[in-house]
Amino acid sequence: MTPLLFIPKKIVLASASPRRKELLARMGLSFTVFPSNAEENTEDMSTLPAARQVCLLAGKKAEDAASRLQHDCLVIGADTIVVKDGRKLGKPQNQEQAAAMLRFLGGGRHEVLTGVALIDRKMNYRDTDCERTLVEMMRLTDNEIKRYTDSGEYLDKAGGYAIQGLAAAFIPWIEGCYFNVVGLPVNLLYTMLKKYLLCAEGMEQGY
């Protein structure tokens, strides 16, 4: 596949998420996966706006990976959270937590926010941005929640559901970027990469 952009250095995805890996591959980019070891501890960020929080966490993940890599590269980090009525939802730790999240999200609309970070240590380049998508989930019965969580699909998913999987049946409406809900806002990343290339071009020409 011919990429829409040519990035003249190694690209590293600081995430073990198979969804992010798949979406980045769809852009036609060649990259390697080097998962971040940064802890997703949000306790000290609980008072921050959700958009600021995901940008900080995405940056933290990218920075951790970049600090452990010796070669010249561009590192991409990302973090996703779900927000409803001011309550921020990360990844459920077990089936009971996932069921509680689905019960809370059902019958209304919530926001999905993904922060994206680009770090190039050699260029001393750092950029972060956030995508926001509004999602409506139908009200779920206890039986539907039980059947869904029994599938195990909630694992490693912010908000406890995967829009690209079985949970697609629960979503009657979204406004915004679908890929953002999957885990990586492709158009936002593409825009950020174009900005990065312009900066790299300017540095080469001595601007």
Burial level of 109, CB count in 10 A (0-12/13-18/19+)? middle
Buried b (16+ CB within 10 A) or exposed e, 179-201: bbbbbbbbebbeebbeebeebbe
Reply yes or no on whether 64 is catalytic: no
Alpha carbons 143 and 192: distance in angstroms, whole number = 43
Tokens of 127: 């950029």
Among 79, 85, 127, 142, which one carries the catalytic annotation? 79
Identify each DSSP E strand in 85-198 by its residue range.
87-89, 108-120, 125-137, 173-175
Q: Do residues 81 and 90 touch, judged by C-beta distance below 8 A?
A: yes
Active site residues: 79
